[in-house]
Amino acid sequence: MPASYTRHGFVKMPGNRSVGNYTVYIGAGSNIGNKLANCQNGIESLIKSGGTVLKDQSRFYKTEPVDYQAQDWFINCVAKIETAKNPFELLHTLKSIERDVGRVADPVKFGPRILDLDILLVDNLVVTSSKLVVPHPRMHKRRFVLQPICDIDAKIIHPVLMKNMQSLLEMLDEDEQRIEEYRCAY
């Protein structure tokens, strides 16, 4: 797989990667305020930012916090988008959206947040930099990421672990990271 070092970091690109749009999976989560609306508005803001089209979206899930337990449950989903933005431009857009809704530096790692927008996968690229790591470095350990991705396409291959999303989901302990579908009027 060809690789290059950009001013942002190391990027491995598949040999058949053509210039143009990227297919990206974005995780959205919130556990402050109107959690569902925060996630919906975050995705809507991303689409309205230009150069980005929503291709598919998972169901919404109510999810148990991971790592830092002393907080309210989250609402999470995953959106599949097509974008002309490269991964670093997209990261800049996501962070801008988070700031616009009032997210500030997290005082507690993995703590409460009004909106969290994460780049999970970008085509089958591998990106390693001080600002961005793709695939998301903990996605294979997170039921609240894997289940929503499986709603969209369970056969997507993790470009580092070389396993599909359904296999990664099945490897998780069923007694940990409780999630339930969040029924809502879309």
CA distance readout (Å), 128 to 4, 65, 88, 133: 11, 26, 11, 5
Residue 103 annotated to the active site: yes
Helix (H, G, I), strand (E, B) or coil at 142: coil
Residue 118 annotated to the active site: yes
- Which one from 100, 103, 138, 183 is the annotated catalytic residue? 103
Amino acid 170 reads E
- Which one from 113, 142, 143, 151 is the annotated catalytic residue? 113
- Which one from 17, 67, 116, 183 is the annotated catalytic residue? 116
- Which one from 56, 106, 118, 178 is the annotated catalytic residue? 118
Q: What angle do CA 30, 82, 10 make, to 5 degrees?
A: 85
Alpha-carbon distance of 101 to 132, in angstroms, equals: 21
Residue 116 annotated to the active site: yes
Are 125 and 18 in contact by the 8 Å Cβ rule? The answer is no
Residue 59 annotated to the active site: no
What stretch of H or E contains 88? helix 87-100
Q: What angle do CA 72, 144, 49 make, to 5 degrees?
A: 90
- What one-character-per-residue DSSP string does 43-74 give? HHHHHHTSSEEEEEE---EEE---S--SSPPE
Catalytic positions, written as ranges:
103, 113, 116, 118
